[in-house]
Amino acid sequence: MKQKHFRARWYVRPRLAFVGLANAWTMTGGAVVGHQWWAIKESLLRPVGETQLVGGTVLRGMTGHDVSLVSTAGAWLGPVGLLGGPMLRFDRLTKRGTGLAAAWSMGPTVRLVVKVGIVSPWLSATPTWILHGREGLPGAPVDEMELGGGVQISGRPVTVRLSGSYRATEAKARWDAVLGLHLRLL
């Protein structure tokens, strides 16, 4: 019998977020479809990866959407995880004709996670370049810069995830706050 070295799972999760642009805010609803994989064997260095398709649309107060595809891979070194990979995004967020015009953007993302028992705080950074659409940050080496962070409290059958991000754009600063409840059936 051949021994398995990795385990993987697919998931679909609802997503509800509060999103702000300058002095206005709104709620978005959508879903996250993803695939995770990790090394089964306990060792000092354990490979891990995740691919996510995240989609959301504005529910009230503004108009817009945000769709992104992110694929990261990396490793856990004891309780510390470091992952990186590409991100592709198509988004728009406006209120009465002003805000973030539609744009395609891409860039690398990097995430640092520390696992302390059932609690896992994390930080991320994603510099992006706009491929098509709105203008980028004037005079900056990147068109937009997103910084994120959060904490995950792992449990069975429910894992709670609180996260947020801040993105500097040419028009206005964009932020979001997300509460995720992940039901684990397997």
CATH number at residue 65: 2.40.128.100
Q: What is the mean pLDDT of residues 89-116?
A: 92
Tokens of 45: 């260095």
1-59 confidence digits (pLDDT tens):
566 788 999 988 888 999 988 778 899 999 999 999 999 887 889 999 999 999 999 99
Question: How many CB atoms within 10 Å of residue 8?
Answer: 11
Number of structural domains the chain divides into: 1
Domain-located, residue 104: yes
Tokens of 32: 């996250």
Q: What residue type is 184 in one-letter code?
A: R
User: What pLDDT, on the 0 to 100 scale, is given for residue 156?
Assistant: 84
User: What pLDDT, on the 0 to 100 scale, is given for residue 24?
Assistant: 84
Residues near 114 by beta carbon (within 8 Å), at least 6 away in sequence: 79, 80, 81, 120, 121, 122
Is 93 exposed, middle or buried (CB count within 10 Å of its CB: 0-12, 13-18, 19+)? buried
Domain-located, residue 1: no
Domain-located, residue 58: yes
Q: Which of these ranges, 37-41, 63-67, 106-110, has the smallest mean pLDDT?
A: 37-41
Domain-located, residue 46: yes
Give the structural domain span for 21: 6-183
Domain-located, residue 90: yes
User: What pLDDT, on the 0 to 100 scale, is given for residue 43?
Assistant: 83
Domain-located, residue 112: yes
Question: Distances from the Cα of 49 to the Cαs of 35, 56, 115, 182, in angstroms?
Answer: 8, 23, 16, 18
Domain-located, residue 78: yes
Q: What is the mean pLDDT of residues 92-120?
A: 92
Domain-located, residue 54: yes
